[in-house]
Chain A
Amino acid sequence: MAEDLVLDTAIRDWVLIPLSVVMVLIGILRYFVSKLMRTSQSPDAKIIKEGQIVIRARNLRAAANFIPLKSFRARKTYFSNEEDGLLHVPQGQAQNPQAQMLSDPNMAMDMMKKNLSMIIPQTLTFAWVNFFFSGFVAAKIPFPLTQRFRSMLQNGIDLSTVDVSYVSSRSWYFLNLFGLRGLFSLILGEENATDDTQRMMQMSGFGFDPSKSLSAEKDSLDIVQHEWVLPKFEKRAEAVLRKLLH
């Protein structure tokens, strides 16, 4: 019975293609709008310092065996001292991201701008698609699919008898929304592609806590065993010289 459904070419010309074109155009427009609204974030001194501390502590951990024990001990105390060590985060002072956001309105503002540039066009286009194209079967994909895909491909058509390889217009909109990333990275350049899925991930991962990395670094520094490797180097140097001389 799937063969019975014939799609009008007018649907292709007036639904399928316009929808895709509009989605692409909106994506590009959104890219430029968000570029306009983006403020250059001036980095916070504290965050930079914490990053640098972590790098230095990591270096210390990685190359600990290359410096004498005394020097290592001094540095270890400097980093992980319980009172005022650099890696020590006092209890309760660990900023939680919510509080940080409240204290820094810029941050909230930035997020809102990002979200606005994402949500507003999406709602508008969704309303537009819903209003004009609801209920269309807009395309047919050239291979059969299982029933599971029905909710993905036939959003807006509540008929269980239609073959799953037909795509409704609303589903076409969703497919475009999430599937155009490759095209955007072609048009706008590799890293500029507006990627909704990635942005959503960023939002959920928002509130990365630098003090956590500090205390993690402290823990791993605490368990480092110092074993000076330099004494071994004398033997190795001997071997090198012997080889050189023979």
Chain B
Amino acid sequence: MVGAAEEAQLNRLENQVDNGGGGDWEYLCLVRKLKVRRSDKVLKHGLSILNDPKRRSKLGGEVWTLYEQVAVAAMDCQRIDVAKDCVKVLRKQFTESLRVGELEAMLLEAKGSWEDAEKAYSNLLEDNPLDQVIHKRRVAMAKAQGNISVAIEWLNNYLETFMADHDAWRELAEIYVSLQMYKQAAFCYEELILCQPTVPLYHLAYADVLYTLGGLENLQAAKKYYASTIDLTGGKNTRALYGICLCSVAIGQLAKGRGKEDKEGSELQSLAATALEKDYKKRASNKLPLLTATLRNLKLQSS
């Protein structure tokens, strides 16, 4: 994840580079380091360095990294011709390299020739059955083709071995949510919370899944996770505030249906509603009537 300070620096550099202020190599290095996706810029500035023999030779050994970066960016922008040239140069330099093999397979993938790419990846995997990048590319490929079930299968295979890779868990969770397989998604989000217990987004997503699953127990848990999201974000997450309101209403309805009084008569929901109102007043006052109407429907309006 990219921190605020790093992003500010990145944007500053990008601005500078776009206006011809130099520093494009630093910009490319930063993009690579932060792993952000700014393919169009990378392609434009990287290519201008690569097309200038003087600057190219000044980079020394770093030039090959730049070739790789530009190749991937070019694939992302569908400039297959540029990517092809870059990969060709790299292949000439590193005849036996696995990394270039990956790039070649990615090139096939970018062209849309799935079968060839699949074949290439399988070949690469035979030599290095433990290469994480290749495993992930295969998942991405299955997803790109729309074979969600295959993607899930690959991901599960991958997680069998690399079970501490939280990015893979996150991907799997999102896929499960998209397929409405909420129980499985909940498991993945639990895994993510275990991995990074202080990231509010995982709490929020887990709460969403629990709320969607429904049932008194899940709703109560969902409310708690919305509460923890509020705690972790300092009450700035609108979705969590709404979540609290909706959960309280749903819990209230369920409890009433069973003839039990809601013992947890906490004032959390009214607080959340008030916080929402305050937030809307400050940032989107024209939408305020909409909110009050909604809250009135939920019978949660304060005052």
Contact = CB atoms under 8 A, between A and B. Distances in A.
Interface residues of B, number: 36
A66 B162 contact: no
Nearest to A51: B164
Instruction: Name the prevailing secondary structure of the B interface residues.
Output: helix
Given A64-B194, A233-B231, A238-B268, 16 more contacts: A43-B130, A48-B162, A52-B163, A55-B164, A56-B194, A66-B194, A230-B221, A234-B224, A236-B231, A237-B228, A237-B235, A237-B268, A241-B235, A241-B271, A244-B235, A245-B274
A244 B227 contact: no
Contacts, number: 96
A75 B129 CA distance: 27
Interface in A30-77: 42-43, 45, 48-49, 52-53, 55-56, 59-60, 62-64, 66-68, 71, 75
B16 to A, nearest CB: 33
Interface residues of A, number: 32
B223 interface: yes
A244 B161 contact: no
B230 A237 contact: yes
Contacts of B234: 240, 244
Instruction: Name the prevailing secondary structure of the A interface residues.
Output: helix
Interface in B152-190: 160-165, 187, 190
Task: Count chain A CB atoms within 10 A of each CB in B161, B227, B275 and give the residue with the most.
Answer: B227
Interface string B265-285: 011100110110010000000
Contacts of B224: 230-231, 233-234
Nearest to B193: A66
Contact of A234 (B161, B163, B187, B227): B227
Nearest to B165: A52
B163 A56 contact: yes
B197 interface: yes
Contact of A230 (B164, B225, B230, B266): B225
B278 A71 contact: no
A148 interface: no
Contact of B161 (A49, A60, A64, A242): A49
State the 5 A-B residue pairs at the shortest beta-carbon distance, nearest first: A237-B227, A55-B164, A233-B228, A230-B224, A63-B197
Contact of A241 (B162, B187, B230): B230
B128 interface: yes
Given A43-B130, A230-B225, A241-B275, A67 B194 contact: yes
